[in-house]
C-alpha cells in the first residue's frame, strides 16, 4: 500500500492557522513517549504550567492545556461555567463570537448578544450601556477575531467589569503569543487559546486559565458539568498536587511539543516576539499596498498576526489561492460567512512571522496576479 505521508510537501503556512512549526518542536514530538503518570512527565507538566502563566501574565494556579484544539478550550470554559438558565452576554463581531453564542445556547443559557459589523471592533459605549441595564453571570468576547483580523478592546472591557460578580471570559486563540495578553491586570476570569497559531505548535491542545473566582463557580455548581471529558473539577486533580489522579490519557508527545514551543517564546523574549510580529505586519501592509491590495481593518484595530485584505477587483479568489498553493507552496486563507469571496486572510503567526516569508508571499502574489 502507498504511504501518503512520504509525499507531503513543505508548505509555507500563511493562512489563519496552523502556522509553520519550528524544527525544535518537530524534534520534541519525536521524543520517547512516557506514561501519563510518569514522575518525569509530571515535571514537564509542571513546567508547562509555569511557562503558560508567564506568557499569559497570570498567577492563576489553574492554568493548563486541555487535550483538544481551541474549540475544545472554548467548550471547556462554557460547560464548566454555565448552568441552565444562566444569563450570558456574548459580544459578537465575527465567526468565533457566533460560535460562543451557539455553545452557550446549547447549554441552556439565557443568551444576550451585542452584534457589531464584521471588520469593526466591539464598541465600548454600547457594551457599557448593556452592562448598566443588565446583570450577567458571564460576559464573553474574542480578543483577536480570526475571521476578520480585528483586535477587540479586551483590557477596556475588563475595566467595566471590575468589582462585578460577572465572570469575564476571553478567547485568545489567535492572540496568545503574538500580542500582549495580561490575564490578571485585565481582570480576565476565564481564558482559552490554541497551540497552532502564534505558539507555532501543531494543533491539538488548548491552553486554558481560570481565576479563583471562576474556579469557585465551578466547584460550587448545583449540577454536574455536562461534559465528562472537559470537567475541570476532575482534570485539576491530574494537574495539581503531589498525588496525581488519572482522568484521561494525556497526549504525551503533543505536550512535549507545547513545552518546547513555549520555551522558544521565552528564550526569544516575549516582548521581542511581539515586536517581530508587528514589524513583519508593517512590512506586509506596505508591500501589499504597493500591489494595490487594500487592508480591510482600520490601523488602530488591526491584528499583526492576521491580516484581512480585500480580494483585488477582477481577481478570482479561489483561483488565486489555489495557484499560490500549487505553484508556490504558499497557503493563505479565504473569507468566512459574509466575507467569503471578498477577503483573503493572511497569517503572520509565530514562526511564520519572518521577513523572508513576507518577501516570498509578495513575490508569489506579484507573479500570480500578473498572469
| DSSP for 47-94, written as a single string | HHHHHHHHHHT---SEEEEEES-HHHHHHHHHHHH--TT-EEEEEESS
CA 159/CA 73 separation, integer angstroms: 24
Return the number of other C-beta atoms located less than 10 Å from residue 267's C-beta: 10
**Cα torsion angle, 122, 125, 130, 131, sign:** positive
At residue 78, does pLDDT exceed 80? yes
**SS3 assignment for 244-311:** CCCCCCCCHHHHHHHHHHHHHHHHHCHHHHHHHHHHHHHHHHHHHHHCCCCECCCHHHECCCEEEEEC
Return the number of other C-beta atoms located less than 10 Å from residue 29's C-beta: 14
At residue 177, does pLDDT exceed 80? yes
Among 302, 312, 318, CA closest to 366: 312
Residue 126, pLDDT score: 98
At residue 204, does pLDDT exceed 90? yes
CA 246/CA 341 separation, integer angstroms: 47
Contact 174, 305 (CB under 8 A): yes
Read off the pLDDT of residues 43-75 as tens digits, 9 standing for 90 and up. 999 999 999 999 999 999 999 999 999 999 999
Class for the domain spanning 23-266? alpha beta
Angle among Cα 231, 192, 62 to the nearest 5 degrees reads 55
In the chain, which residues fall in CATH 3.90.1150.10? 4-18+269-370
Read off the DSSP letter of residue 116: -
Helix (H, G, I), strand (E, B) or coil at 324: helix
Residue 370, pLDDT score: 87
At residue 371, does pLDDT exceed 80? no
- For all residues of the chain together, what is the average pLDDT? 97
Read off the pLDDT of residues 213-262 as tens digits, 9 standing for 90 and up. 999 999 999 999 999 999 999 999 999 988 999 999 999 999 999 999 99
User: Averaged over 289-298, what is the pLDDT?
Assistant: 96
In the chain, which residues fall in CATH 3.40.640.10? 23-266
Class for the domain spanning 4-18+269-370? alpha beta
User: Averaged over 78-89, what is the pLDDT?
Assistant: 98
CA 175/CA 248 separation, integer angstroms: 28
Amino acid at each position: 500500500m502507498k504511504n501518503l505521508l512520504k509525499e507531503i510537501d513543505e508548505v509555507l503556512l500563511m493562512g489563519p492557522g496552523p502556522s509553520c512549526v519550528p524544527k525544535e518542536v518537530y524534534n520534541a514530538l519525536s521524543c520517547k513517549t512516557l506514561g501519563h503518570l510518569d514522575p518525569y512527565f509530571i515535571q514537564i507538566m509542571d513546567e508547562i504550567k509555569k511557562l503558560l502563566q508567564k506568557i499569559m501574565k497570570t498567577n492563576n494556579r489553574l492554568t493548563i492545556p486541555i487535550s483538544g484544539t481551541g474549540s475544545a478550550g472554548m467548550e471547556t470554559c462554557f460547560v464548566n461555567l454555565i448552568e441552565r438558565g444562566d444569563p450570558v452576554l456574548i459580544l459578537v463581531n465575527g465567526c468565533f463570537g457566533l460560535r460562543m453564542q451557539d455553545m452557550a445556547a446549547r447549554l441552556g443559557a439565557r443568551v444576550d448578544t451585542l452584534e457589531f459589523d464584521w471588520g469593526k471592533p466591539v464598541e465600548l459605549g454600547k457594551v457599557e450601556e448593556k452592562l448598566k441595564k443588565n446583570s450577567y453571570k458571564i460576559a464573553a468576547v474574542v480578543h483577536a477575531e480570526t475571521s476578520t483580523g480585528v483586535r477587540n478592546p479586551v483590557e477596556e472591557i475588563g475595566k467595566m467589569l471590575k468589582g462585578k460578580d460577572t465572570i469575564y471570559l476571553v478567547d485568545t486563540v489567535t492572540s496568545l503569543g503574538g500580542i500582549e495578553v495580561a490575564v490578571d491586570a485585565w481582570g480576565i476570569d476565564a481564558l482559552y487559546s490554541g497551540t497552532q497559531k502564534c505558539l507555532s505548535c501543531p494543533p491539538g491542545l488548548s491552553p486554558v486559565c481560570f481565576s479563583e473566582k471562576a474556579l469557585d463557580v465551578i466547584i460550587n455548581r448545583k449540577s454536574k458539568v455536562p461534559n465528562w471529558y472537559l470537567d475541570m473539577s476532575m482534570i485539576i486533580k491530574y494537574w495539581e498536587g503531589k498525588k496525581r489522579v488519572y482522568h484521561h490519557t494525556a497526549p504525551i508527545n503533543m505536550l512535549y511539543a507545547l513545552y518546547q514551543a513555549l520555551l522558544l517564546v521565552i528564550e526569544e523574549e516575549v516582548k521581542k516576539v511581539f515586536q517581530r510580529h508587528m514589524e513583519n505586519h508593517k512590512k506586509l501592509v506596505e508591500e501589499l499596498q504597493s500591489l494595490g491590495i487594500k487592508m480591510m481593518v482600520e490601523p488602530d484595530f488591526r491584528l499583526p498576526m492576521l491580516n484581512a485584505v480585500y480580494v483585488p477587483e477582477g481577481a478570482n479568489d479561489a483561483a488565486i489561492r489555489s495557484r499560490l498553493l500549487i505553484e508556490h507552496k504558499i497557503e493563505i486563507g479565504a473569507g468566512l460567512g459574509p466575507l467569503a469571496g471578498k477577503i483573503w486572510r493572511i497569517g503572520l503567526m509565530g514562526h511564520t512571522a519572518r521577513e523572508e516569508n513576507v518577501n516570498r508571499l509578495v513575490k508569489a502574489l506579484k507573479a500570480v496576479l500578473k498572469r
